[in-house]
Structure 1
Amino acid sequence: MYVKFRKSSRVFLITVLFGMLMILSASAQTGAPINVRGSITDVAGEPLIGVNILLQGTSTGTVTDYDGNFELRVPADGVLEVSYIGYKPQTIPVNNRTSVLIVMQEDTEMLEELVVIGYGTVRKDDATGS
Structure 2
Amino acid sequence: MRKICLICALVLALAGAECSPYLRLAVIGGKSALNQMEDENIKATEVSCKDEVIAYEYVFKNSKNIDWETISDEYEKEFASSMKELLTEEFCSDKNTLMLLQKAKSIVMNYRLPSGALFSKVELTAKDCEK
Report the TM range for the smaller structure's normalisation. Answer: under 0.3
- TM-score, normalised to structure 2's length? 0.20
Structure with larger Rg: 1
- Could you state the TM-score of these two structures normalised by the residue count of structure 1? 0.20
